[in-house]
Structure 1
Amino acid sequence: MMKANSKLMWWAFLLPVIAVLIWSLNITVTRYVADYISPVSISFYRWLVAFLILTPFMLGKAWKEQALIRQYFFKFAVLSAFGMVLYQGLAYTAAHHTSATNMGIINAFIPVFTILVSLIILKEIPNRFSIIGGILSFMGLLYVMGQGNFSSLLQLGQHWGDIIMIFAVFFYAFYGVFLKKWQLHVPLMLSLYVQIAFALLYHLPFIAWLGLDPINTDNVASVLYAGIFPSLIAPLLWMIAVQQLGPTRTSIFMNLMPIFTAIIANIWLNESWTVYHTIGGIVILVGIILAQKKSTVKQLKTA
């Protein structure tokens, strides 16, 4: 019995590692496919693929739970806007102007930004570790953005991709805090399904204005990967890990994202990992760990 419990615990620790690996690969996919499809197109196709896969399993349940969906209608709409449209849409846009390595580093800021957003939304006062860690991480981020030279930050035109990615991550922090604030009593997969449906609706005005790129041999693999693995499989693994390990312990694994992303981007896209990435990355990581010390903020990842 003891061996069975031990084995289960080891598998539980593997779940968030696999989820973060999937999300890290998706950042590199996002950067790769930027040359072959517009941001609004891949964002729409991603959620369309996920919606079509879930529909046979969830449509009947959604029909039966109409009253529950109506009860949380506005909240589902807000969660979808922040977590699926603003975050992912801006990330696809950022991919046109920055590297996958930088995107992975910035993505690791979710726990720190969550503490800041919790102050705004939940009125949770951060402790001194959170404040010091947040400042330290931000300095490390500026060091990476400036490629080891803070004065180059004055040339804003060279850093638009990083700035857009910062906004994307900031919006995702709102998503996590809203999840915590509202504590929706809705089955997780049903919640995901309804949010995806809202995401598709949100894309329609952008498609009407900007048009929709066709799926072809250059982008089909990236679209399918984005619609299946980071949209469905990774969130499911993450949810199970949160149930097994708890949200606080699970959230620590997000710090692996910059490392995984840098390795994948180096192998696939030949992006180099430089000295300023190492120094800035270490400063950011130390700041993030410090910011979470004795912090009551819990990070939730679903998309």
Structure 2
Amino acid sequence: MYSNSKPMWWAISLPIIAVLIWSMNIAVTRYVSDYISPVSISFYRWLVAFIILTPFMLPQVWKQRHLVKQHFMQFVVLSAFGMFLYQGLAYSAAHYTTATNMGIINAFIPVFTIFVSILILREIPNRFAVVGSILSFLGLLYVIGRGDFSNLTQLAGHSGDLIMVLAVFFYAFYGVFLKKWQLKVPLLLSLYVQIALTLVYHLPFVLYYGIDAINQGNVASVLYAGILPSLVAPLLWMMAVQYLGPNRTSIFMNLMPVFTAIIAYFWLHEAWTMSHTIGGIVILVGIALAQKKSLSVKKSTLLS
């Protein structure tokens, strides 16, 4: 049972603010691509988060080192998929596509999660999940093809979208692994260890490609990425799950394409086309079908 001690408007505001922060980060990712390399912004982002957390979390890591040691290989995998691959590829995608497209593709995570769950958890989806997945995938192709499926044959023109699709696919693995393992570890401890491992993953790329200096053109974006989407938004999201429950909270993630498009329109002056509207609606309808399936399964499980 989830607590209802807070006023409902306050609980509802938590996931909305979290999604708004993450949506803003997509726009920031696109904006800063002209001022700093993907390797540099990704490394600096997690370095800022690590520096902020270290005074508070390092003593906790030592006190609970038995937990860290027990789940270390799981942290290694989670960090690779959820932070290094997902966010690193997103920063790379930002050089070749729009923030609007990135936001729409990001909304595809629940559908990819269904496919990854089949591979790892051996969960067989019912017809609602299958139809929803196919519908969302068609909507995604429609957006990538800019309203014309024949454009999909020109892969070079969609490299950014394809990189973002790959990033989202890796993030789906992150969510499924979390569900599979259900680690009995304090969330902040898990977050801190994963951030530390992510910095280690970056080192070979930093040594090979080099790292850009922080300057007036990118410092604000680096600080934003390292504080709000890396630390504040996850905490707000975890609080929302506590008060609203995981299913009700996850629904708010569907606001990300809308928030991202609005921010990109006013800040980055990106165009919102009819293909975005049609494809976005199709994707969200498909996701709704898929989530309806998972909710009905959970209800039947609780009643059994």
TM-score category, normalised to shorter length:
over 0.9
Letter in 2 for 1:17: I
Q: In structure 2, what is the equivalent of residue 301 of structure 1?
A: none
Q: In structure 2, what is the equivalent of residue 295 of structure 1?
A: 294
Pairs within 5 Å for 1:1-303: 8-295=7-294
Paired residue total = 295
Preserved CA contact (<8 Å) 1:96 1:161:
yes
Preserved CA contact (<8 Å) 1:127 1:295:
no
Deviation at residue 6 of structure 1 after TM alignment: 7.4
Preserved CA contact (<8 Å) 1:16 1:238:
yes
Alignment partners' CA distance in 2, 1:180 and 1:268? 37
Preserved CA contact (<8 Å) 2:4 2:243:
no
- TM-score, L = length of structure 2: 0.95
Secondary structure of 2:292's partner? coil
Letter in 1 for 2:233: A
Residue by residue, what CA displacement relative to the aligned partner does 1:185-234 show, whole Å, maximum 9, x if unpaired?
11000000000000000000000111011000000000000000000000
Alignment partners' CA distance in 2, 1:12 and 1:177? 26
Preserved CA contact (<8 Å) 1:36 1:218:
yes
Residue by residue, what CA displacement relative to the aligned partner does 1:163-201 show, whole Å, maximum 9, x if unpaired?
000000000000001001001111000000000000000
Cα 1:6–1:59 shift into 2, 3 Å: closer
Residue by residue, what CA displacement relative to the aligned partner does 1:63-111 show, whole Å, maximum 9, x if unpaired?
1111110000000010000000000000000000000000000000111
Secondary structure of 1:293's partner? helix
Give me the identity figure in percent: 76
How large is the Cα RMSD of the aligned pairs?
A: 1.3
Alignment partners' CA distance in 1, 2:4 and 2:110? 30
Name which of structure 1's ranges 47-56 and 7-16 shifts more when overlaid on structure 2: 7-16
Residue by residue, what CA displacement relative to the aligned partner does 1:34-76 show, whole Å, maximum 9, x if unpaired?
0100001000000000000001110101011111100000000
Alignment partners' CA distance in 1, 2:263 and 2:5? 31
Preserved CA contact (<8 Å) 1:87 1:171:
yes
- TM-score, L = length of structure 1: 0.95
Preserved CA contact (<8 Å) 2:261 2:272:
yes
Alignment partners' CA distance in 2, 1:100 and 1:62? 37
Q: Which runs of 5+ in 1 are unaligned?
A: 299-303
**After TM superposition, what 4+ stretches of structure 1 lie above 3 angstroms from structure 2?**
4-7
Alignment partners' CA distance in 1, 2:187 and 2:267? 34
Secondary structure of 1:292's partner? helix
Preserved CA contact (<8 Å) 1:87 1:168:
yes
Preserved CA contact (<8 Å) 1:44 1:203:
yes
Alignment partners' CA distance in 1, 2:158 and 2:4? 49
Letter in 2 for 1:280: G
Alignment partners' CA distance in 1, 2:273 and 2:42? 30
Alignment partners' CA distance in 2, 1:159 and 1:280? 16
Alignment partners' CA distance in 2, 1:279 and 1:137? 11
Alignment partners' CA distance in 2, 1:291 and 1:225? 33
Q: Which runs of 5+ in 2 are unaligned?
A: 299-304
Letter in 1 for 2:99: A
Deviation at residue 7 of structure 1 after TM alignment: 5.2
Letter in 1 for 2:118: L
Secondary structure of 2:96's partner? coil
Residue by residue, what CA displacement relative to the aligned partner does 1:3-48 show, whole Å, maximum 9, x if unpaired?
x957522211110110000000000000000010000100000000
Preserved CA contact (<8 Å) 1:50 1:231:
yes
Alignment partners' CA distance in 1, 2:155 and 2:110? 26
